[in-house]
Structure 1
Amino acid sequence: MHPSVKASVPVIRRLPKYYRYLCALKDSGVTSISSRELAAQMGTTASQVRQDFNCIGDVNGRQGIGYSVDNLLTILEGLLFGDGQRLSTILIGCGRLGKAVSSFIANNNNGFTLIAAFDVEPALIGQSISGIPIRHIDDLESFCAQHNPHVAVLCVPRSGAQQISGRLVELGIKGFWNFSHYDLSVPYPDAVVENVHLGDSLMSLGYRLRNQD
């Protein structure tokens, strides 16, 4: 990232979308693209694209040619995936949602690797989820002490999300991908939380359909 500029959260949230579009462009044989063309695909403005790129590194657009797709992808891959070392991840909650999320992590090149899964349901303990054996939640402390995971994915009821998050922070977890239908706020400065509400997108879709001109 550019040494004099710290990207805001809105910019950070746009980076994966840039990455997806640029990967598709590269696969189509496109080698360069202008800010105007990229803005049209992103649903934003050319000015916004240029401002975003000023925040992320040495992005040099050439007059009349545009930005190098390969250069943009290299910069974005460095920001989104680091040095290529995947972040070790544990899953809390192995019901239907947990199974779907674990499959996504296991089958996508997203910079994370699932190393353990935990639940409280006796019938699930010892079964496998995405090739990972399900452990009882009582094993959480001993596992984290031995393996030092970075990230926890929460697929638990909202009533248990706040309680388990504090426990996980004490065990060294730095990142939370939270599907608990609860806006988790972890009161620790080094912890990062992404709250995911699947219903929000569906309600937004419903609103747009019902309020079309």
Structure 2
Amino acid sequence: MSRKSRVSMAVIRRLPKYHRYLNELLNRDIKRISSKELSEIIGFTASQIRQDLNNFGGFGQQGYGYNVEELYNEIGKILGLDRGYNTIIIGAGNLGQALANYSNFEKFGFRCKAMFDVNPKLIGLKIRDIEIKDMDTLEEFLSETQIDIGIICTNKESAQLIADRLTSCGVTAIWNFAPVDLKVPDDVIVENVHLIESLLTLTYLYKEREEEES
């Protein structure tokens, strides 16, 4: 078993947070930082940080700490940010348009090549430079354009059919915003972003705090 296959999802889900905070440190022109200092900023213990990074070989030097730029770049490579990704957005409603307007995606190498929708009033419009195309042209587009990630921003009733169409055309990674768990082939990766589930987690914690205070 490779080292990568032994890394837990809990560690993997902490990596983007490391990457974000290290970027903030770079913007403040901070050159190096200790695990203790990093723990005070991020909220993880220094021991947890060292353990997480040791899954990938460790990057610090005793008595020196971490070179911020090097660690930022190395975590970027671990996250796969040393290459670009072609994406498409399915569903050009409010959420799809908000994602298309988020310019930071390009900063990290995510290039949205097109959007797709069934609403004839939207087809042909552009969000920034991203054209909204007719869903009927999806397969033709995918046959001509290499797409790495499909982003689903539709209702739950449409999401599974869209996932089927994407995977049948060779798309093997899906970022799913529809409130449904998709069934996909074993070689397809799905990352679900269920907004209501996140909100309900927040309301639970809010209620719990109120009960403790009362």
Using structure 1 for the length normalisation, give the TM-score: 0.89
Partner of 1:71: 70
Among 194, 198, 202, the alignment partner of 2:199 is: 202
The number of equivalent residue pairs is: 208
Q: Distance in 2 between matches of 1:81 and 1:47?
A: 25
Deviations 1:93-121 (A, max 9, x none): 00111101111256651221000111111
Partner of 2:165: 167
Deviations 1:139-184 (A, max 9, x none): 0111000012111100011011111101110101011111111122
Among 91, 94, 107, the alignment partner of 1:93 is: 91
Cα pair 1:158 1:180 within 8 Å, conserved:
yes
Cα pair 2:81 2:108 within 8 Å, conserved:
no
Decide whether aligned partners of structure 1 residues 101 and 5 sit closer, same or farther in structure 2, where only a CA change above 3 A counts.
Answer: closer
Cα pair 1:105 1:114 within 8 Å, conserved:
no
Q: Distance in 1 between matches of 2:18 and 2:94?
A: 31
Correspondence 1:119 to 2:117: yes
Q: Distance in 2 between matches of 1:102 and 1:119?
A: 13
Partner of 2:138: 140
Return the letter of the residue paired with 2:49. Answer: V
The 5-angstrom pairing of residues 102-113 of structure 1 reads 102-104=100-102, 108-113=106-111
Deviations 1:62-93 (A, max 9, x none): 22321111221120121224433x21111100
Q: Secondary structure at the match of 1:211?
A: helix
Q: Percent identity?
A: 41
Return the letter of the residue paired with 2:128. Answer: S
Q: Secondary structure at the match of 1:190?
A: coil
Q: Distance in 1 between matches of 2:16 and 2:61?
A: 23
Q: Which ranges in structure 1 are unaligned for 5 or more consecutive residues? A: none
Among 187, 192, 195, the alignment partner of 2:189 is: 192
Q: Distance in 1 between matches of 2:208 and 2:122?
A: 44
Q: Distance in 1 between matches of 2:81 and 2:202?
A: 34
Deviates more, 1:75-84 or 1:46-55: 75-84
Using structure 2 for the length normalisation, give the TM-score: 0.88
Q: Distance in 2 between matches of 1:202 and 1:53?
A: 30
Cα pair 1:106 1:114 within 8 Å, conserved:
no
Query: What's the Cα RMSD here?
Result: 1.9
Q: Secondary structure at the match of 1:89?
A: strand
